């Protein structure tokens, strides 16, 4: 397994700055290079620290669960905070340009949907390759049920003994390695 450093950013635990008037004022002043008061400077420094984590990454993986039929508001909050001109992108008045040098980014969506043969869009697991992890110590979903799901979907599956339901937190390096494998094999 390659050497991997995983920086997990859980938007629920991160204590993100609120995207309120102070943050908006800090954003516009920070982008323009204008003077800020103490509160705005504090918010702007927190925003810059979040941006730095994205800029330092060799890979970015976003796990996006379905939440009230959309992405979680905390993820939107993070996006609003870090999407800063001249930090993650440029804009010259006509065109946007990238500043993030990460060679790969992946978004993993999860959603619920009933399965029926007559659906207009078949479930992705029926037509696309998939990768899966059986979390051996999962106390939320029985590992035998996980094995059944993944066999049904013909997923490329690994088993991690002792891994909890939150396998990306209990075994982040193995999860990162499987994501890297999936990304490489999906390109071929």
Percent of the chain at pLDDT above 70?
Answer: 85
- Predicted local confidence at residue 111, as pLDDT: 57
Q: Tell me the per-residue pLDDT of 170-184, one tens digit each, with 9 for 90 and over.
A: 888 898 889 888 888
CATH of domain 1-111: 3.40.50.360
Average pLDDT of 58-63? 82
- Tally of CA atoms within 13 A in the half-sphere of 65 that contains its CB: 7
Q: Cite the DSSP H helix spans in 33-152.
A: 38-56, 73-82, 124-127, 143-152
- Cα–Cα dist 152/67, whole Å: 25
Q: Where are the domains of the chain?
A: 1-111, 113-188
Residue 156 vs residue 185, higher pLDDT: 156
pLDDT tier, 143 (very low <50, low <70, confident <90, very high otherwise): very high
């Amino acid at each position: 397994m390659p050497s991997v450093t995983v920086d997990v950013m859980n938007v629920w635990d991160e204590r993100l700055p609120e995207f309120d008037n102070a943050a908006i004022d800090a954003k516009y002043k920070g982008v323009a290079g204008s003077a800020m008061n103490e509160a705005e400077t504090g918010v702007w420094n927190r925003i810059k620290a979040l941006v730095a984590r994205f800029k330092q990454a060799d890979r970015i993986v976003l796990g996006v669960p379905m939440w009230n039929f959309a992405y979680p508001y905390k993820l939107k909050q993070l996006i609003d905070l870090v999407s800063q001109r001249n930090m993650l992108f440029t804009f010259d008045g006509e065109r946007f340009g990238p500043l993030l040098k990460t060679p790969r980014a992946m978004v993993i969506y999860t959603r619920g949907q009933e399965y029926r043969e007559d659906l207009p869009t078949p479930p992705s697991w029926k037509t696309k390759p998939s990768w899966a992890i059986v979390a051996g110590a999962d106390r939320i979903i029985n590992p035998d049920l996980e094995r059944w799901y993944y066999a049904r979907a013909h997923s490329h599956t690994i088993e991690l003994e002792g891994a909890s339901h939150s396998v990306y937190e209990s075994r982040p390096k193995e999860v990162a390695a499987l994501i890297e494998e999936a990304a490489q094999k999906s390109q071929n």
